[in-house]
A and B are shown apart, each in its own frame.
Chain A
Amino acid sequence: MNHQFSVAIGPVGFRIGSDWRAPIAQLETLYRAYPKPTDGVPDFTVRLFAARPWRRVLRPSVMIGGDFVLPEAAPLPLAQGLLAAEMGMNLQMALGQRRYLLLHASVVERDGEALMMTGVSGAGKSTLAALLSLRGWRLMGDEFALLDPETGQLHAFPRLVSLKNTSIATVAAEAPADRFGPLLEGTPKGTIRHFVPDAHAIATMIQPARPALILFPSFGFEPAARDVAPSEVFVRLTQASTNYVALGERGFDALTKLVTSVPARAIDYPDTASAIAQVEAAWAAR
Chain B
Amino acid sequence: MALADDTVLYRMARAESLSIVHLDSFSAVYHRASGITHLITAPAPEILATLGEAGMTRAALLDRLARDYALGDADMDVLRERLDELVATGLVSRA
A and B touching (Cβ–Cβ under 8 A) = yes
Name A residues whose Cβ lies closer than 8 Å to a Cβ of B.
229-231, 234-235, 238, 244-245, 248-249, 252-253, 256, 259-260
Partner pick for B24 among A231, A245, A249, A256, CB 8 A cutoff: A231
Known contacts A245-B36, A260-B23; 13 further A-B pairs (Cβ under 8 A): A229-B24, A230-B24, A231-B23, A231-B39, A234-B23, A234-B39, A235-B39, A238-B37, A245-B37, A248-B35, A249-B19, A252-B19, A252-B28
Contacts A234-B39, A235-B39, A238-B37; is A249 near B23 (CB within 8 Å)?
A: no
Chain B: interface residue total (CB-CB under 8 A): 13
**Interface status of B59 (Cβ within 8 A of chain A):** no
Contact residues of A: prevailing secondary structure: helix
Min CB distance, B84 to chain A, in Å? 23
Inter-chain contacts of B24 with A (CB < 8 A): 229-231
CB of A241, distance to nearest CB on chain B (Å):
11
Q: Are B37 and A252 in contact (CB under 8 A)?
A: yes
A281 → B minimal CB distance (Å): 24
| B32 interfacial contact with A, CB 8 Å | yes
Query: Are A260 and B19 closer than 8 Å at their CB atoms?
Result: no
Structural contact, B21 and A256, CB atoms closer than 8 A: yes
Using an 8 Å CB-CB cutoff, how does the interface string of B15-43 with A read, 1 for contact, 0 for none?
Answer: 00001010111101010100111010000
Q: How far is the CB of B40 from chain A (nearest CB, A)?
A: 10
